[in-house]
A and B are shown apart, each in its own frame.
Chain A
Amino acid sequence: MSKTITIDGKIIPFEDGQTIMDAAMAAGVYIPHLCHQPEFTPHGSCKLCTVNVNGRNCTACTFPAIDGQEVLNETQELIDDRKKITQMLFVEGNHFCPSCEKTGNCQLQGVAYHLNMLDNHFPLFYPDRKVDASHTEVMIDHNRCIFCTLCVRASQQKDGKDVFAISGRGIDKHLIVNAQSGLLKDTDLNVTDHACAVCPTGAILIKRTGYQVPIGQRIYDHKQIDQVSLATEQHKHGE
């Protein structure tokens, strides 16, 4: 008999070593997430994939599947929690979608749309953050960074470099680059690096590509992130 867990009552098979996220993805069950992509070591920081496992909340991307687990995913309580988390991500940075070239292709926005988030609920921080446009082909807009560390992991694990890191703690947390000057142009980042393409928001952008697809015809303008995520990430699990 193969091992199984249940997610919202549905029986999901898994193999040893898989996380709840791995098992869910493989079975075509979407669990909202931003800091997780199947190619990289799970980080468990965005907390959007919070599920209830045998009565306790934990992050599906880091929690191992164990035979007989009862997992709750789409409960109203968890959906409300995820909406609050997403609202906190929005108010903590400066996310002005109308002026962002990632709009429509942004996973943060996609998750917010999926959760039917219509407002920010919390007071806005309007933090003062910088833009690093020093590199000829790539720019960092720190206003939109949600500290998911996907660029950090992509640079280390796929590009064999070490361009990005997170520095500071709490509200002073910020993305740094590996150069004495602190500028992206002085790192060994190349525009073809995976780290440049992995950002779920508009924090890392490849220059001169932002408006190739018109607003209104972009990924999340018509498709929900659950369909997109399952279609693009499912096959990468188990690679």
Chain B
Amino acid sequence: MANKIRVATTSLAGCFGCHMSFLDIDERMLQLVELVEFDRSPITDIEHCTNCDIGLIEGGVCNSENVHVLREFRANCKILVAVGACAINGGLPAMRNHITLEECLNEAYMDGIGVENPQIPSDIELPLLLDQVRPIHEVVKIDYFLPGCPPSADVFWKFLTDLIEGREPALPYELVHYD
């Protein structure tokens, strides 16, 4: 089906909770896949996105790889969507913004309770951590925002069906939650 709407999804500094909530649309997924085709996504294992209509981004940016992925999505998605609290305001990972990176790494890998063979991971394959976790609208232009921790399945459904059916997406009061 060449004319299906192409959707890509990713989780940056997120917990995949938003993806799990998306899957909570349950049997409506069957209706959705009649209309959309998933490109890069944890659901498909496609590694890079190309020519997509909609990109759904979960999580904020906490490391250099997050920034590259986010820019790839922006370059390849007509519509980019911040999904969930972490994408919108940094969320729980951003609580480390009040602690220096050195203190964070020391606590996790050197001095923390139960740490064995203490060493700070430095493999060249590991993306470098940013000094702070930032929301994605500070890095690229974002077209729509779906708040919630996570946004409910109904939020995903309402938003995607609005877009697919050519309406301006709108969330009624009952679907707007920050928690």
- Judging by beta carbons under 8 Å apart, are A126 and B176 in contact? no
Residues of chain B contacted by A11 (CB below 8 angstroms): none
Q: Is A136 an interface residue (CB 8 A)?
A: no
The answer to whether A103 touches B178, judged by C-beta atoms less than 8 angstroms apart, is yes
Q: CA A104 – CA B149 in complex, angstroms?
A: 13
Chain B contact residues: helix, strand, loop or mixed: mixed
0/1 interface trace, chain B 87-123, chain A, CB 8 Å (1 if under): 0111110110110000000000000000000000000
B176:A118 contact, CB within 8 angstroms: yes
**Are A99 and B178 in contact (CB-based, < 8 A)?**
no
Asked if A98 and B88 sit within 8 Å, CB to CB, the answer is no
**What is the interface of chain A mostly: helix, strand, loop, or mixed?**
loop
Q: Provide the residues of chain B in CB contact with A63, threshold 8 Å.
A: none
Interface residues on A, range: 20 to 34
CA distance A119 to B146 in the complex (A): 8
Measured between beta carbons, the chain A residues less than 8 angstroms from B98 are: 126, 128
How big is chain B's contact interface, by range?
20 to 34
Please determine whether A119 and B138 come into contact, CB atoms closer than 8 angstroms. no
**A126, B92: Cβ atoms under 8 Å?**
no
Q: Which residues on B are within 8 Å of A, measured CB to CB? A: 82, 85, 88-92, 94-95, 97-98, 132, 134-135, 137-138, 142, 144-147, 149, 171, 173-174, 176-179
Given contacts A116-B176, A215-B179, 20 further A-B contacts (CB under 8 A): A90-B89, A96-B89, A96-B91, A97-B178, A98-B149, A98-B179, A99-B92, A100-B179, A103-B178, A109-B178, A113-B173, A114-B173, A116-B171, A116-B173, A118-B88, A119-B88, A119-B142, A119-B147, A120-B88, A120-B137
Question: Can you list 6 A-B pairs, Cβ within 8 angstroms, ordered by A?
Answer: A98-B149, A98-B179, A99-B92, A113-B176, A119-B147, A124-B89
